[in-house]
Amino acid sequence: MHFTSGNITTFLLSLSIMLLSAKLLGELFNKIGQPAVVGEIIAGIILGPTVFGWLMPQVFTSLFPTNNEVKIALDGIVNLAVILLLLVSGLEVDLSVIVRERKSAFLTGAMGIIIPFILGFAVSLSFPYLMGLKDESMKMIFAIFMGTALSISALPVIAKTLMDLNMFKTNIGHIIIAAAMFNDLIGWLIFSVILSLIGASNHGLSVWQTILLVLVFTIFILLIVRKLFNLALPWVQKKFSYPGGVLNFILILGFLGAAFTEYIGIHAIFGAFIVGIAVGDSVHIREQTKEVIQQFITNIFAPLFFVSIGLRINFITNFDPVMVIIILVLAFAGKIAGCTLGARLSSMKANESFAIGFGMNSRGTMEIILGLIALQYGLIHANVFVALVIMAIITSISSAPFMKYFLRAEESLSSLLKPDFILFTDIHDKKELIGLLVNAIGHHFKINKTEILDEVLKREDIIPTGIANYLAIPHARININKPVIAAAINKQGIDFEAEDKIPSQIIFLLLTPKDKNELQLKLLADIVKLFKDKDRAEKILSLRNKEQVIGQLKLSA
């Protein structure tokens, strides 16, 4: 066997086409407010036997041959890609967040795995053939697999969705992330059991031996290697070229961890993920290092993996509507019930709990990887795999809209802005203008106007709140139960020291409850986001009708 010149040409063409289609659809989905990963998976479905391979079977087979050196080389790259993707996902895990939010994270994460697992397990055990069991003798393993596939989250997708919603650094965001990390860790541990039950290449180890090895490995990496890495990193950064030395060091550790878990019969990705957590936790790791690794892996390797999913299977011939509906119902019901319940148990409010439930509902990375392995080992039919991928896409797409819906009632910008709190003014003086806004609010709420005005002006003295594009947002946290927003469209520009030096003409006054730091940040971010678009700011300045102003502000909030 030899990698010929013709092989190289095909290999390069396949890679370019995979990257190109993944990027185009990934960016398109990003543009319409969806996670890029969904676009990348769909790009693969289009590029694979489902569409392109069906339209032009000859070109398809010559680009993506099924049985020669190019396939092996692409397999190698895709395997490397998943391993690197999990290494990077591990880097994102912040152990201290889990510790800080341990109560909510534990309850949400645990219930978010127990309930969907039991649901998936029970249904698969009760109706194994309806659920697509291939081999009667594998019934128990199959049921455990379905339970796991339905209960595992997709940390990278969840993190991306939270960032898109400006919620990554809020309280709810932290709880969701911590719960998802906890969830993933447990999910992988269960999956390692499944793999050892399938027993692909575990060198004659029993299930218990494998579980023991996995636990020892996990504890060894998370306790000892984590500490050692943290101790060694400053030395590596000092003695070796930077960031080259660290980059290599991290990849070598990741590959070794991956090779070990693969060797003991657990998939390589588990080892890479655990090493990623241990490495990412070091206080000495620098942003630049993470940046280089993350950019290259998430932009080059991850898309290659997600595209490759669609290349394997025909999503039309293996599309089984009943299976898809069953999987979707089980996935939504189990995860949302579990996480919402968990969040409620940790004394979150009902709407917040539902938001957490939908936030945790995104699948897309992990459970597709699990599905692929199960498919490879002949544990499931292709139609189950297709249903799992479709479930991943739909749960990921629906997560953000549902979260917005549940958090909207209380906290969203458009629900807070009432016509009574919109003023058209023509004032020179900053204090006077803020006074007017406080007054407008004071007509409707029982607040101490003088005290609040003082509070807002004090804040304004320290750091002026001019943003850009005519916008300024004086704000304060005060003794109220709900946030209040008032806005003035002021003909005169007033200097709030905005970044772009443009005097502010659209001034929001934002008052939020004292104990809700994250809510203030979220609302501030929402307003700023709305005014990223200078055209919209100018449009609003031209309006003279309160309802129209609210209409403009609702457009994207």
Q: Is residue 284 within 8 Å of 229, Cβ to Cβ?
A: no
Choices 53-61, 78-86, 134-142, 449-457; region in contact with a second copy by CB under 8 A: 78-86
- Provide, rounded to whole angstroms, the least separation between the CB of residue 233 and a second copy: 15
User: Residue 11 or residue 142: which is nearer to a second copy going by CB?
Assistant: 11
Nearer to a second copy, 240 or 405 (CB): 240
- Three-state SS string over 206-249 comes to CHHHHHHHHHHHHHHHHHHHHHHHHHHHHHHHHHCCCCHHHHHH
What mask of x and - would describe binding to a second copy in positions 175 to 204, judged by CB under 8 A?
Answer: -------------------------xx---
Q: How far apart are CB 533 and a second copy at their closest, in Å?
A: 13
Q: Are 492 and 505 in contact (CB under 8 A)?
A: yes
CB of 149 to a second copy, least distance (A): 20
CA distances from 552 to 166, 441, 444, 471, 549 (A): 20, 21, 24, 15, 5
Nearer to a second copy, 258 or 487 (CB): 258
Please answer whether residues 170 and 521 qualify as being in contact, where contact means their C-beta atoms are separated by less than 8 angstroms.
Answer: yes
Is 337 a binding residue for a second copy by CB under 8 A? The answer is: no
Query: Please, what is the minimum distance in Å from the beta carbon of residue 206 to a second copy?
Result: 18
Task: Enumerate residues 488-547 that contact a second copy by CB under 8 A.
Answer: none
What CA–CA distance (Å, rounded) separates 286 from 51?
44
Instruction: State which residue, 39 or 310, has the beta carbon closest to a second copy.
Output: 39
Residues 301-320 interacting with a second copy (rule: CB under 8 A): 303
Instruction: Sort strands 504-513 and 475-478 into parallel, antiparallel or unpaired.
Output: parallel
Distances (CA, A) of 204 to 188, 200, 265, 326: 21, 10, 9, 36
11 binds a second copy (CB under 8 A): yes
How would you classify residue 205: left for phi > 0, otherwise alpha for psi between -120 and 50, otherwise beta? beta
Choice from 77, 97, 333, 382 touching a second copy (CB under 8 A): 77
Judged by CB under 8 A, the chain residues 229 through 288 that form the site for a second copy are 239-241, 243-245, 247-249, 251-252, 255-256, 258-259, 262-263, 265, 268
Output 78 or 176, the one with its CB closest to a second copy: 78
Q: How far is the CB of 270 from a second copy (least distance, A)?
A: 12
Residue 3 or 424 having the CB closest to a second copy: 3
**Contact range with a second copy by CB under 8 A, out of 43-51, 66-74, 176-184, 439-447:** 66-74
Question: What whole-number distance in Å separates Cα of residue 8 and Cα of residue 11?
Answer: 5
Cβ pair 280, 273 in contact under 8 A = no
Question: Tokens 């520009």 sit at which residue?
Answer: 493
Q: Would you say 200 or 316 has its CB closer to a second copy?
A: 200
Q: Is residue 389 near a second copy by the rule CB under 8 A? A: no
Q: Give, as ranges, the residues between 36 and 65 that touch a second copy (CB under 8 A).
A: 36
If binding is defined by CB under 8 A, does position 74 make contact with a second copy? yes
Instruction: For residue 97, state whether it binds a second copy (rule: CB under 8 A).
Output: no
CA atoms lying within 13 Å on the CB side of residue 354: 11
Report which residue type is found at 27.
Answer: E
* Shorter beta-carbon distance to a second copy: residue 313 or 553: 313
| Binding residue (CB under 8 A) for a second copy from 46, 51, 62, 80 | 80
Which residues in 421-442 are b (16+ Cβ under 10 Å) and which e?
bbbebebeebeebbbbbbebbb
For the bound state, the minimum distance from the C-beta of residue 106 to a second copy, rounded and expressed in Å, comes to: 33
Q: Which is nearer to a second copy, 175 or 193 (CB)?
A: 193
Nearer to a second copy among residue 194 and residue 523 (C-beta): 194
Residue number, 57 or 244, with CB nearest to a second copy: 244
* Radius of gyration, alpha carbons of the chain: 26
Cα dihedral 186/191/193/195 (nearest 10)? -160
Tokens coding 105: 């994270």
Residue 472 near residue 504, CB atoms below 8 Å = yes
CA 344 → CA 170, 317, 332, 347, distances in Å? 18, 42, 18, 5
Give the three-class secondary structure for 264. coil
Does 206 participate in binding a second copy (rule CB under 8 A)? no
User: Number of C-alpha atoms within 13 angstroms, CB side, residue 490?
Assistant: 28
Q: State which of residues 197, 207, 211, 292 lies at the interface with a second copy (CB under 8 A).
A: 292
| Residues comprising the chain, all counted | 557
Comparing CB distances to a second copy, the nearer of 293 and 485 is: 293
Nearer to a second copy, 201 or 317 (CB): 201
Options 293, 309, 369, 494; binder of a second copy; rule CB under 8 A: 293
> Does residue 207 belong to the site contacting a second copy (CB under 8 A)?
no
Size of the site for a second copy (CB under 8 A): 62
Among 460, 410, 411, 470, smallest CA distance to 435 is for 460
Sign of the CA dihedral with 526 first, then 530, 531, and 533 last: positive
Q: Which residues in this chain contact a second copy in the complex, by CB under 8 A?
A: 1-6, 8-9, 11-13, 15-16, 19-20, 23, 27, 30, 36, 67-69, 71-77, 79-80, 83, 200-201, 239-241, 243-245, 247-249, 251-252, 255-256, 258-259, 262-263, 265, 268, 291-293, 295-296, 298-300, 303
